[in-house]
Structure 1
Amino acid sequence: MNIIFFTHPSFLGHQSMPRYAQWLAWGMQERGHRIAQWTPKARFVSLPVPQALKKWMGYLDQYVLFPWQVRRRLKQVPTDTLFVFTDHALGPWVPLVKHRRHVVHCHDFLAQRSALGLIQENPTGWTGQIYQNFIWKGYARAQNFISISHQTQRDLHTLLERRPACSEVVYNGVKSQYRPGSTSEARQQWSQQLQRDLTSGYLLHVGGNQWYKNRMGLLELYTAWRNQSRQNLPLLCIGEAPNAELEAFHEQSPYRQDIYFLTQQSDADVVKAYQGATAFVFPSLAEGFGWPIAEAMAAGCPVITTQEAPMTEVAGGQAFLIPRQQAGTDWAQRAAGVLEAVVTLTPQERRQVIEQSLANAQRFNAERALDVMEEIYQQIVEKSVDYVTP
């Protein structure tokens, strides 16, 4: 197949989406397909303008200059080419190839649902609502979609108000490096890195500062657990540096010496963190998939997460579930009780939990996910008909 991947421009500073796009492109190239990646270049955004105007310069690069370039390049592209949008947020470009073979990958519709007022924790201003509607008008013109979870697929169908010609679910793949290892060696490595004895274990969280990751809730849960437990395991938070709100909470916490915010960690360090953790705590309010849940299970770490889809979908009945946090409730205390049950598992109980988690993680094999995607791509190419004027 000839495959062209539309990807986010590097000047946006995204992390997960470029990795996903590269994983797709590499996987298809390894399978013998001819691939290319099309993405806006930093033209206007590189101009020496005030910082307040940078966003608008980026819009010019993405939605004025880039579409013009795409229209010119399309004249040289074979008619049997498959155009792959690596994220539905690239929707404004979909109309450029709506009459060509195409497919849109969908990750989460949290921004779209927030703009419609469906998520109270994330209110959206009027400019954000306009922008999200602009995105919707684009991807709504597409006919073929691949979602990373059944929850994302349900959201897609609700937003489209129709069933598209092709709508498949392919779970994210977990890299082979996420696998069980020596717990003692992992804890020793992190003990050396943090200059603290972690041989008795620690709690782990992996995620950013996005509202739905609920890092504030994580700290509240940890505080409630420490207040009621005889255990004193530290908490390692791997991801972005804390924002001002998290930093303020951290500074006032009586357990601040036991809370570590760790940034710019390598994949190998993250794997070691999973392998050595007593438990992985992931109290997200919402997700498109919940990649860290699968990674933790694949590395042999018991998982505590929210009793909401798609977290439950990924957990596959093998995680310890806590309610979704709601204001004005005793959520932290209730969740702390679940955490206490996990950290006090007997060795035999813990082994059983890990064995079941590893079995569940087999559903998220990266190579198998790419194989399924390849089959879907091939079906779209074979069944679709281009309406291209000669």
Structure 2
Amino acid sequence: MRIVLFTHPAFMASQSMPRFARMLQQAYQARGHDVQVWSPPARVHAWVPAGRLSKWAGYVDQYLLFPLQVRRALARQATDTLFVMADQALGPWVPLVKHRPLVVHVHDLLALRSALGEIPENPTGFTGRLYQRYIRRGFAQARHFICISQRTRNDLERVGGVAPEAAEVVYNGLNQRFAPTPPAEARALLRRAGLPVPEHGLLLHVSGNQWYKNVPGVLRLYAHHARTHANPLPLWLVGVQQTDAVRAALADVPPQGTVHFLHGIDHALLQAAYSLARALVFPSLAEGFGWPIVEAQACGCPVVTTDDAPMNEIGGPQSVYLPLLRSGDDLQAWAADGARALAALLDEPPQAARERIAACLAWSRRFEADRAITQYLQVYERVLTSHPVAASTTLARSAP
């Protein structure tokens, strides 16, 4: 296949989507496909790389200059070229190629749901609401979508304003290898990095400070857990900054509790932490997918997460589920219930614990990268063969 992959510009602060696009490019090329990546170069943004006007300079590059570049380049593309948007947030570019074979990858619609007032914990300003409507008006003109979860697919049809001919669910594949690190090796890695080496394991939380990660809730839950144990397991928070809300929750942890904040640890150390953890505590208020759930299970670490999609979709039957903490709920009561659920997990008999770990490892295999790539390409092939102009061109090329 000839594939043109649209992705976000390199000057964007978040690089998760460019990384996703690079992963797709490398995987498709390894399977023999011809792949080009189209992304806005920094022209105006290069003159205003920082400050209040840098965002608007980036918008000029993305939505005024880049479309001119795309229109010129389209004339040189074969009619059987498949165009792929690596993220639905690239919706404003969809009208440029909507008449060609096109697939849009949809990751999550949290920003759109916030803009529509569905998520009171994350209010959106006036310009943000306009921007999300601009994005939606664009991607709604596509007809073929790949969603990372059933929750995302439901949101796409419910709030995305689309009635796609084909919106298929393909779960994300891990873009790095995660597997159990033997305990002695894991402890040696931590020791060499100057990190504490827990004798009986640890509790782990991996995230940033996004509103939906519920870090204060994690700390309140841990505080309740620590109060009922003379020597509670330490809690490791990976990637979390100490904001005012985090510090306020941290003050609730009793003296016998221990909380470590870790930043910038490499893949081997993260894998070691997952492997030594007795549980990943991940009670998010919302998620697009929930990568740490899969990463933890691939390392044999049980997961405590939220009984709401997509967390309960990704976590599988072997995870422990807590009620969703909604705005206005009693946080302390929720945390106390969560601490009891965590204690029940930690107190499982050895055989039950071994069975849960085995189930975690087995479940994680459905998120292998090769499986996701194969499914993406199958969707692409179907879109190409269903497009009248592309299909006729492909048949003409293959005729003797």
Q: TM-score, normalised by structure 1?
A: 0.94
Is this contact kept in 2: 1:92–1:134, CA < 8 A?
yes
1:368 to 2:380 alignment: no
Q: What SS does structure 1 have at the residue aligned with 2:204?
A: strand
1:61-210 aligned at under 5 Å gives the runs 61-175=61-175, 177-210=177-210
Amino acid corresponding to residue 374 of structure 1 in structure 2: L
Q: What SS does structure 1 have at the residue aligned with 2:281?
A: strand
Closer/same/farther in 2, CA of residues 220 and 191 from structure 1, 3 Å limit: farther
Is this contact kept in 2: 1:83–1:102, CA < 8 A?
yes
Amino acid corresponding to residue 51 of structure 2 in structure 1: Q
Amino acid corresponding to residue 322 of structure 2 in structure 1: I
How far residue 199 of structure 1 moved from its aligned partner, in angstroms, is 2.1
Q: Distance in 2 between matches of 1:201 and 1:80?
A: 55
Q: What SS does structure 2 have at the residue aligned with 1:293?
A: helix
1:349 to 2:352 alignment: yes
Q: What SS does structure 2 have at the residue aligned with 1:312?
A: helix
1:232-243 aligned at under 5 Å gives the runs 232-243=232-243
Unaligned runs of 5+ in 2: 391-400
Closer/same/farther in 2, CA of residues 123 and 20 from structure 1, 3 Å limit: same
Unaligned runs of 5+ in 1: none
Amino acid corresponding to residue 216 of structure 1 in structure 2: P
* CA offset digits 1:309-339 (Å, max 9, x no partner): 1111111211011111133421111101111
Amino acid corresponding to residue 232 of structure 2 in structure 1: N
1:258-277 aligned at under 5 Å gives the runs 258-277=258-277
Q: What SS does structure 1 have at the residue aligned with 2:388?
A: coil
Q: What SS does structure 2 have at the residue aligned with 1:24?
A: helix
Which of residues 297, 314, 335 is equivalent to 1:332? 335
How far residue 268 of structure 1 moved from its aligned partner, in angstroms, is 2.1
Is this contact kept in 1: 2:231–2:256, CA < 8 A?
no
Q: Distance in 2 between matches of 1:258 and 1:191?
A: 18
RMSD of aligned alpha carbons: 1.9
Q: TM-score, normalised by structure 2?
A: 0.92
Paired position in structure 2 for 1:381: 384
Is this contact kept in 1: 2:318–2:359, CA < 8 A?
yes
Is this contact kept in 1: 2:102–2:383, CA < 8 A?
yes
Is this contact kept in 2: 1:100–1:385, CA < 8 A?
no
Amino acid corresponding to residue 159 of structure 1 in structure 2: V
Q: Distance in 2 between matches of 1:5 and 1:63?
A: 17
Amino acid corresponding to residue 321 of structure 1 in structure 2: Y
Is this contact kept in 2: 1:297–1:303, CA < 8 A?
yes
Is this contact kept in 1: 2:220–2:252, CA < 8 A?
no
Q: Distance in 1 between matches of 2:160 and 2:113?
A: 12
Higher mean C-alpha deviation, range 118-127 or range 11-20: 11-20
How far residue 244 of structure 1 moved from its aligned partner, in angstroms, is 4.1
Is this contact kept in 1: 2:136–2:161, CA < 8 A?
no
Q: Distance in 1 between matches of 2:235 and 2:194?
A: 12
Q: What SS does structure 1 have at the residue aligned with 2:52?
A: helix
Closer/same/farther in 2, CA of residues 122 and 251 from structure 1, 3 Å limit: same
* CA offset digits 1:28-72 (Å, max 9, x no partner): 111100001111112111214771111111111111111111111
Q: Distance in 2 between matches of 1:18 and 1:246?
A: 30
Closer/same/farther in 2, CA of residues 161 and 207 from structure 1, 3 Å limit: same
How far residue 163 of structure 1 moved from its aligned partner, in angstroms, is 2.9
Closer/same/farther in 2, CA of residues 92 and 162 from structure 1, 3 Å limit: closer
Is this contact kept in 2: 1:239–1:262, CA < 8 A?
yes
> How many aligned residue pairs are there?
387
How far residue 340 of structure 1 moved from its aligned partner, in angstroms, is 1.2
Closer/same/farther in 2, CA of residues 100 and 256 from structure 1, 3 Å limit: farther
Paired position in structure 1 for 2:290: 290
Q: What SS does structure 1 have at the residue aligned with 2:236?
A: strand
Q: Which runs of 4+ in 1 moved over 4 A?
A: 251-257
Is this contact kept in 2: 1:101–1:385, CA < 8 A?
no
Q: What SS does structure 2 have at the residue aligned with 1:103?
A: strand
Paired position in structure 1 for 2:7: 7
Closer/same/farther in 2, CA of residues 123 and 157 from structure 1, 3 Å limit: same
Q: Distance in 1 between matches of 2:103 and 2:204?
A: 36
Is this contact kept in 1: 2:147–2:169, CA < 8 A?
yes
Q: Distance in 1 between matches of 2:264 and 2:15?
A: 12
